[in-house]
Amino acid sequence: MKTPLTRIGAVLAVIAVIAVAGLAGRHYWGMIAGAPESGVAAIGGPFTLIDEGGRTVTEADFRGQPLIVYFGYTYCPDVCPTTLTTIAEALDLLGNKGHDIAVLFITVDPERDRPENVGEYARVFHPQIVGLTGTIEQVTAAARAYRVYFAKASQNPNDPEDYLVDHSAYTYMMGRDGKFLTHFPHGVSAKDMAERIAKLL
């Protein structure tokens, strides 16, 4: 039979574990979302990818323009189409104020998303959205620069081409100088996104 002191000790141990887990969770968020304790967002950086015409594209090609970046893939069943629709609607709400914004849809599934189909997919949502792909090494480097997680998930054992990809679902906005400005979580409304973007332009 446990004494009251033993039970109190057990409770304190549980509380300690929860507290440590909470701190670890905050640290993990800082690594993924680019919000380290210093307050400087470590999101963005050099990348080398391929556009739908097979041309090499780097971050330098978008200097001088506000930049919106989203990582996803064309086989995504719901999150990616929803987010791209939101971005497209936000651009339309911005009107002339948003005409010089560059929007990048970077695939996290380069094995299936070839240059031509990722570009065509992106344009379905809005003509300002540019689809980019590359080798797995190039895509991984770009995702790392933006603190984006992705990994091949559930796969059909009868069809190696039939699988899902788990990935972060944040949309990032970068300034004309390429520096991080803000991010939008999945589920943000087009109105809220447009209003926040307008304040940063």
The number of folded domains in the chain is: 2
Same domain, yes or no: 77 and 170: yes
In degrees and rounded to multiples of 5, residue 174 shows phi and psi of -115, 150
* 34-60 confidence digits (pLDDT tens): 444 445 568 999 999 999 999 999 999
Take residue 75 and report the two structure tokens written for it.
């086989």
Cβ-Cβ contacts under 8 Å for 92 (sequence gap 6 or more): 126
Same domain, yes or no: 180 and 103: yes
Instruction: Tell me 77's DSSP state.
Output: S
Give the SS3 label for residue 103: strand
Q: Do 138 and 103 meet the contact criterion of CB atoms below 8 Å apart? A: no
* 4-32 confidence digits (pLDDT tens): 333 334 333 333 333 333 333 332 223 33
The domain of 171 spans 48-200
The answer as to whether 187 is a domain residue is: yes
Same domain, yes or no: 109 and 11: no
Predicted structure pTM score: 0.79
Same domain, yes or no: 166 and 74: yes
Same domain, yes or no: 152 and 87: yes
Pairing assessment for the beta strands 150-155 and 129-132 based on DSSP bridges? unpaired
Same domain, yes or no: 82 and 7: no
